Copies of this chain bind each other. A is one copy, B any other.
Amino acid sequence: MENVLAVLNLGDLAQAFSKMGMFPVFDLAYYIVSILYLKNEPGSVEVSRRSPVASWLCAMLYCFGSYILADIMLGSSPVDYFQYNSHILLASAVWYLIFYCPLNLFYKCVAFLPVKLVLVALKEVVRTRKIAVGVHHAHHAYHHGYFIMVIVGYVKGSGVALISNFEQLLRGVWRPETNEVLNMSFPTKASLYGAILFTLQEAHWLPVSKSTLILVFTLFMATTKVVMTARHSHGSPFSLIESWTCHLLFGSSLGGGEEDNHHPPAGAAPSPVKTKEELSEGARKRKAKKAE
């Protein structure tokens, strides 16, 4: 594979791509898309009115959850990343614009589908880089700790999703019946597979250079996520292979059962196309439920 890429002169491209800085353009896209998803969560607009501090904390978890989790996993300070004031200020500005911009202008701009598709693609570039850096970081700390590499890469890629139960708790919402490990969404699953691939690469069991792997995995993630966002789909490109593997290895029933996991009950999944009206509708319903 390396040879083919060399012929196509893609090796240099991959090298340059893997050296490219993420701040501020790519990180900005990451913050925007993440906080966009936060605003789409039912009740989060209400929280932003009642307690700006809680809303800001949730936004920080959405933007920096992967750093917080990886720092915890490696025994560092969970707020270590908050020393980068410019990153925090940039994310805070995005949070302010998305939640409090007059006429909801900023939200409408970035949620406009063509803009959003570009941002989503840029976000996946950051995600892949985070997984690669996470695995490398863990490899540095535990030279033969392959499980640790996979775990750190996984949490670096999944970020807030893995602690969504506790992020929701901060907003006064508690849904113990599900979590991101029981019902993995596509990005969480892809992060796990990516972490395994990058660990295999780091252990020299995969005959591919790291920069090539970053390029290929980024292209796969960006394409899949853009297509899924454009088609409002929650299906996963892995489902066919997974359903057969799970059937063979874990005796899961073929087809139906596995499919169900990809379609969590309505309301549980953050549907990225809800309008503000639908959201306040949802908030009203939740209030009514509480009142009962």
Contact = CB atoms under 8 A, between A and B. Distances in A.
Interface stretch (A17-25, A117-125, A173-181, A274-282): A173-181
B73 A78 contact: yes
A54 B169 contact: no
A220 interface: no
A197 interface: no
A171 B51 CA distance: 27
Contacts of A112: none
A3 interface: no
A71 to B, nearest CB: 8
B179 A176 contact: no
B151 A49 contact: no
A71 B78 CA distance: 11
Query: Do most interface residues of chain A lie in helix, strand or loop, or is the interface mixed?
Result: helix
Interface string A146-188: 1110011000000000000100011111101111011110000
A233 interface: no
A82 B182 contact: no
Given A142-B83, A148-B83, A50 B170 contact: no
A144 B83 contact: yes
Contact of A72 (B51, B78, B146): B78
B83 A73 contact: no
A290 B184 CA distance: 21
A52 interface: yes
A179 B184 contact: no
Interface residues of A, number: 59
Given A85-B147, A181-B57, A75 B77 contact: yes
B145 A54 contact: no
Interface stretch (A6-14, A26-34, A127-135, A250-258): A250-258
A74 B80 CA distance: 8
Interface in A52-110: 52-54, 57, 71-80, 82-83, 85, 88, 99-100
Contact of A183 (B51, B52, B249): B51
A52 B250 CA distance: 7
B177 A182 contact: no
14 contacts: A47-B182, A48-B250, A50-B252, A52-B246, A53-B181, A54-B182, A73-B79, A77-B141, A79-B147, A79-B152, A82-B145, A88-B147, A165-B169, A170-B179
10 nearest CB pairs, A to B: A174-B176, A75-B77, A83-B145, A82-B147, A54-B181, A83-B142, A52-B250, A51-B182, A54-B182, A82-B148
